[in-house]
A and B are shown apart, each in its own frame.
Chain A
Amino acid sequence: MPKDSGIGASSKRREDVRFLTGAGNYTDDINVHGQTYVHFLRSDIAHGRIKSLDTSTAEAMPGVVKVFTGKDFEGVGGMPCGWEVTDKHGAPMQEPPHPILAQGKVRHVGDPIAAVVADSLEQARDAAEAIDVDIEELPAVIDMKAAAQDGATLVHDDLKNNVCYDWQLGETDDAKVNEVFANAAHVTTLDLVNNRLVANPMEPRVAVGEYKRGTDEYTLFTTSQNPHVIRLLMCAFVLGLPEHKVRVVAPDVGGGFGTKIFHYAEEAFCTFAAKACNRPVKWTSSRSEAFMSDAHGRDHVSKIELALDADNNFIGLRTNTFANLGAYLSTFSSSVPTWLHGTLMAGNYKTPVIQVNVKAMFTNTVPVDAYRGAGRPEATYQLERVVDKAARELGVDPIALRRQNFITQFPYDTPVALTYDTGNYNGTMDKLEAAADLAGFAARRAQSETKGKLRGLGINCYIEACGIAPSNIVGMLGARAGLYDAATVRVNATGSISVMVGAHSHGQGHETAFPQVVADMIGIDESMIEIVHGDTSKIPFGMGTYGSRSLAVCGSAMVKATEKVIDKAKKIAAHLLEASEADIELKDGQFSVAGTDKSVAWGDVTLTAYVPHNYPLEVEPGLEETAFYDPANFTFPSGAYACEVEVDPETGKVSIEAFTAADDFGNIVNPMIVDGQVHGGIGQGIGQALLENCAYDENGQLLSASFMDYAMPRADDVPFYGVDHSSQTPCTHNPLGVKGCGEAGAIGSPPAVVNAVLDALNSGGKAVDHIDMPVSPSRVWAAMNG
């Protein structure tokens, strides 16, 4: 029987009441008395030197409060990068400055040159058109391989070349890797592109900066997944403000997908300008602006080689990847193609020798950073595509080849720096085979053939490292931040509870799922618990939400704080019941003395804590506890996915007929929310596989900057999903045994879709090895017709 409350119950998302009735409070809903509006003048060329910049006409236009240029920001810092990657020769990455407004040069279409603050948005826009800027156009650096050539035009004049770092993980001895490949019975090689994506959350980015002269206090309202991270970066590295004078609020946020993790120039601008203008300053991104100023995702070009012995055991893996960082280092961009990517190249397999090589490139494009999965989808795509190609070349069943090479003993130390604590890949594959009815595929294929369609089955396995992360480990790897989280459990006198959490909810359902945990621990109704998040003036210092970490890390902090509350409440209950604390048990919201019928209710104890008339002298009044939690390891969700497609051989059109996901997320708090997270992730993965592509021309013009050209998945592009998460190996090192589910769908689905399309084509006698994403009808048709 499914539970109807607490851990394991599909409690309905309480936040949906406001989201679905138009009662949410998003950043753009926030308007501050006297506010002004800023419009950014952005570069419409990819690379150029600013020869002159004259704002005098604009400054004299109606309603204009002030026009800012790079000069106004010479006294403050630039946008920081939060992760220093060390290259394979031991040198730190090349880290060019990232100014708030252009200093002398523009480096991508969308790079902000000037900002007009005016009484109205229309006045700001009109005045921006009157800014006279003369830019000498320079050759644009767009292609990553060309950017790596000696003598290539430099994106940053002060760097020695366009390579941010040349990084390596795994086996460092090239000779040893070469020997493995030389002795292999079979080597499968694949060149592929992981297409550049734009996250496109439904809500564009917004920032409102406010400054109060009387108290010298700043408030920034912003669309962020991590308000404390923004406050720390902005105060310590950009504007040099004391943290205690700055409040950052991220209210309801309409989707993040990683792109709202980063500290953006517009946030620092609005905070800075609010003081400079002595009026609040608001910026709301248009959709066009979002395409050229939100950090993009993916954009890897890779070669992957898999070596197998005569028995089809994987004996070696080597990858060479060019990763596009864009024109500047975004907040966590350097970590994505390295520690969030190379470490996952073992996948679910016991390949003994692995070497990962990554060259990260500066180009005249929008900065690239984490997008749902962040490095892990790129790793999984390479690995699962090459495994699939190997199976086809060897004429073996792709599931059998995977099973043969699965890791089966845990804990398992990979050759690429991780220790998987637990997993059951064969068990999860069993669940997939049953849930997807793979035994019935042949009949479904025959049925499709009667309609003139080619049906294909694509299999994919994935592993991800979530719940980031142990601070001491990431610190050694170059992170300039700790990755713990925090929660404060504040029990009110009448027994209701406010839980202030460092995680931020922007679609994940924390406001519903987190109370389920606390309710279960105390034995009270979920409705007595409220989650508070997103405001640095209310919550403890937490690192926010990304990398499927909220429940595993912040949820663990919440459990620890709740345990402290319960311990203290037991002392009070013991006093009230005139019993020994050791004999007090808490069940269903009642404290009782073991072996007796004496009990006192939760609400009586909480009231006593705040009205301590009859109270133990050695115990402080009140009932409020905070805990910080730093994880001992990453968590390792894993899964097996099956995608069935039909390809129309006349047009190359691919339709997804079935998609089944079997995931091992460890323990699950709210199965319905987990289903929804998986659905959304698969939808985004299907978008990447079939539809989405961020395209630049050779001059660095962004060609896909609206929904006319950037194809987002729509309802009729995706099937009804089958989701099974009954394969559960609980995480061994956090108190809830949870692993994280937010990114799995986006990681596991693209290779499943592409593998399915290739299976379909090959079943129809078309010997096609690979098609790059998005697998559009024209690409499929071209591949089929040679």
Chain B
Amino acid sequence: MQLSDSRVIAAPRSKVWDSLLSAEVLKECVPGCQEMTGSIEDGFEATVVQKVGPVKATFKGVVSLSDLVALESVKLSGEGKGGAAGFAKGAADVTLSDAPEGTLLTYEVDARVGGKLAQLGGRVIDGVARKMADQFFENFQNAVEPQDASQPETSDEGEAGDEKKGWFKRVLGG
């Protein structure tokens, strides 16, 4: 699936750019990110917990940055394997430009899922991908804008009650 959107961030372009390249900021912004290690140059290894429809899984994968044009644009790519849950892949082309209120951040996301995620979560994947992208950039905005922004929500794990977990376990056969 593909989606694109933009948002204005109340911060200068240089700060937005630096934040985009910051491992700490990325870790904070990737929804469901439990762990991230690595560097801009070598890419990051990440562990992300996500839920798509009835399938919740821990994805281990890599996040890499490419096509860097300083202060202008960067491509963020990620690929995660969730074992029996299948896989997810995505890339976001991010472009920065000046805006009266600060910096205009435009992004185009292309995301794919496979395996059980596609089989069971296919119906809801578009919505989930949109929500994840929105959440990422909202987290990013909160992290970058110099204000008393509330702590970004890193995952919606709290929504999954015992009953849902039980259902998920059954789907994956325990």
Contacts and interface: CB of A to CB of B under 8 A. Distances in A.
Interface in A271-307: 286, 288, 291-292
A768 to B, nearest CB: 27
Interface string B107-125: 0000011111011101100
B173 interface: yes
Interface in A628-666: none
B86 interface: yes
A695 B122 CA distance: 10
Contact of A109 (B115, B120, B174): B115
Contact of A44 (B87, B171, B174): B87
B115 to A, nearest CB: 3
B99 interface: no
Given A125-B84, A288-B119, A706-B120, A701 B174 contact: no
Given A129-B84, A704-B122, A44 B115 contact: yes
A518 B135 CA distance: 72
Contacts of A125: 84, 173-174
Contacts, number: 60
Interface in B115-174: 115-116, 118-120, 122-123, 171, 173-174
A234 interface: no
Interface in A70-129: 109, 121-122, 125, 128-129
Contacts of B86: 44
A702 interface: yes
Nearest to B116: A288
Nearest to B84: A129
A122 B169 CA distance: 12
A95 B143 CA distance: 59
B38 interface: no
A701 B119 contact: yes
Contact of A701 (B83, B84, B113, B123): B113
A699 B171 CA distance: 23
A291 B119 contact: yes
Interface in A682-716: 695, 697, 699, 701-706, 708-709
Interface string A119-149: 0011001001100000000000000000000
Most A C-beta atoms less than 10 A away, residue of B54, B87, B113, B116: B116
Contact of A709 (B115, B116, B123): B123
Given A44-B86, A44-B87, A286-B173, A703 B114 contact: no
A460 B112 CA distance: 43
Contacts of B123: 703, 708-709
Most A C-beta atoms less than 10 A away, residue of B83, B115, B119, B122: B119
Interface in A32-65: 44-45
A703 B83 contact: no
Most B C-beta atoms less than 10 A away, residue of A44, A128, A129, A697: A44
A125 B112 CA distance: 25
Given A44-B86, A125-B84, A129-B84, A703 B116 contact: no
A314 to B, nearest CB: 43
* Chain B interface size range: 10 to 19
B174 A702 contact: no
A699 to B, nearest CB: 6
B120 A705 contact: yes
A727 to B, nearest CB: 45
Contacts of B114: 44-45, 109, 699, 701
Contacts of A129: 83-84
* Chain A interface size range: 20 to 34
Most A C-beta atoms less than 10 A away, residue of B86, B87, B118: B118
A709 B83 CA distance: 22
A192 B4 CA distance: 35
Contact of B122 (A128, A286, A292, A697): A697
Most A C-beta atoms less than 10 A away, residue of B84, B87, B171: B84
B119 A705 contact: yes
A709 B173 CA distance: 19
B167 to A, nearest CB: 11
A42 to B, nearest CB: 8
A764 to B, nearest CB: 31
A184 to B, nearest CB: 45
Nearest to B1: A697
A706 B55 CA distance: 12
B87 to A, nearest CB: 6
Nearest to A41: B84
Contacts of A45: 87, 114-115
A699 B112 contact: yes
A702 B173 contact: no
A131 to B, nearest CB: 10
A291 B119 CA distance: 9
A704 B120 CA distance: 7
Contacts of A292: 119
Contact of B118 (A121, A128, A286, A697): A697
Interface string A436-478: 0000000000000000000000000000000000000000000
Contacts of A109: 114-115, 118-119
Contacts of A702: 118-119
Contacts of B171: 288
Contacts of A122: 174
Nearest to A121: B173
B20 to A, nearest CB: 28
Given A44-B114, A701-B122, 4 more contacts: A121-B173, A701-B112, A703-B118, A708-B54
19 contacts: A44-B87, A44-B116, A109-B114, A109-B115, A121-B173, A125-B84, A129-B84, A286-B173, A288-B120, A695-B122, A699-B112, A701-B115, A701-B118, A701-B122, A703-B119, A703-B123, A704-B119, A708-B54, A709-B123
Interface of B: 54, 83-84, 86-87, 112-116, 118-120, 122-123, 171, 173-174
